[in-house]
Structure 1
Amino acid sequence: MTFGATLPEPQPPSATPPVASTTPMPIVVPRTGNGKLNVAPGTSARVGSGELIEYRVEVEDNLPVDPATFARIVAATLGDDRGWTKSGRYAFRRTPTAPLRIVLSSPATTDKLCAPIQTRGEVSCRNGNVVAINALRWIEGADSYGDDIDRYRQYVVNHEVGHTFGLGHQGCPGPGRKAPVMLQQTKGLQGCKSNPWP
């Protein structure tokens, strides 16, 4: 008596089960974004006791960076005791409608936001009321900071915000000394040691 088709014999388990890759997938930053900027929602608490600088955070739509995450890093940097608030001259608060815009953008959009400053798809800038952070640098960092992407991100935020206070670029004060935050550390250290803080 048959009850249907004959089932195949069970196969022994494979001697070498597949292994999941432990190599993280690289984050790809598009050279050209779609130009749509998303404002990070919400408002942060005031940090610092000096002149209040209100800012908003925007992230280009097709970047592999969450606006809330970018906003959190910017707020932590600007609110750090080692940063611009330490002198008592400045205070910061993030709001979605503030005039100062801190924007994370693709290299091509950064070039547009920075024009006529020549960023050539490689660096960030401050242009008027816009601090444009190049997403390529945000993800990859710079040689001057090696693998320490977090410290580089602190540097680039502090450097470009420093320009909003009217500060210009500085040189290295001497070999082996701490780099001023207004040194163009993305392009090199001129013999100084990397430093993300003013």
Structure 2
Amino acid sequence: MRVEKGVDLDPDEVARALERTLDDPRSWRSTGRVRFSLVAAGEQADLHAYLVTPGTTDKLCYPLLTRGEVSCRSGNKVVLNAKRWTLGAEAYGSDVADYRDYLANHEFGHALGHSHVGCPARGRPAPVMLQQTKGLQGCTANPWPSVTKG
């Protein structure tokens, strides 16, 4: 987990938050096919997570146009936009903690090969791969992959 200099967040706290999210039984580990673990700096890793400014997000995510607003997965990098991490998104109101769970699960979902999906039915929990940062399409906010599977 790397936090860009100038981002006023504690890297250890961010790493612990990501670890809690990805280790939660409602996260991707519920599939039984994947698990995540933090490794020490300098150790071999399949994925690298970055929490960076909107401008750096735009650079690391290019050619995807994030416009300083959204996050992405680019190659083996999971790029989390510090603006979103700090402020959340309209779909989650003031619940920034749930939004952070969504953000991590959504972007790590891309790293696992999952693509964007739509809302299956009005009033249902949104699939985690719905672009909830941009809106809910009639679904309700949901940060967890396991809530809508099956």
Fold match, TM over 0.5? yes
What is the letter of the counterpart of residue 89 of structure 2? A
Aligned residue in 2 for 1:66? 10
Q: Which runs of 5+ in 2 are unaligned?
A: 146-150
What is the TM-score when the length of structure 1 is the normalising length?
Answer: 0.71
What is the letter of the counterpart of residue 196 of structure 1? P
Aligned residue in 1 for 2:113? 166
Aligned residue in 2 for 1:90? 34
1:102-140 per-residue CA deviation (whole Å, 9 max, x = no partner) reads 100000000000000100001000010111000000000
- Give how far 1:169 is off: 0.1
Larger Cα Rg: Structure 1 or Structure 2?
1
Identity of aligned residues (%): 55
The 1-side partners of 2:106 and 2:13 are apart by 20
Q: Secondary structure at the match of 2:35?
A: strand
Q: Which runs of 5+ in 1 are unaligned?
A: 1-56
1:11-64 per-residue CA deviation (whole Å, 9 max, x = no partner) reads xxxxxxxxxxxxxxxxxxxxxxxxxxxxxxxxxxxxxxxxxxxxxx11001111
Q: Secondary structure at the match of 2:36?
A: strand
Aligned residue in 1 for 2:132? 185
What is the letter of the counterpart of residue 80 of structure 1? D
- Give how far 1:99 is off: 3.5
Is 2:79 the partner of 1:132?
yes
Aligned CA-pair RMSD: 0.7
What is the letter of the counterpart of residue 63 of structure 1? V
The 1-side partners of 2:106 and 2:59 are apart by 20
Aligned residue in 2 for 1:105? 52
Is 2:27 the partner of 1:80?
no
More helix per residue: 2
Q: Secondary structure at the match of 2:106?
A: helix
- Give how far 1:168 is off: 0.3
Matched residue count: 142
What is the TM-score when the length of structure 2 is the normalising length?
Answer: 0.93
1:46-84 per-residue CA deviation (whole Å, 9 max, x = no partner) reads xxxxxxxxxxx1100111100000000000000001111
Structure 1 stretches of at least 4 aligned residues deviating more than 6 Å after TM superposition: none
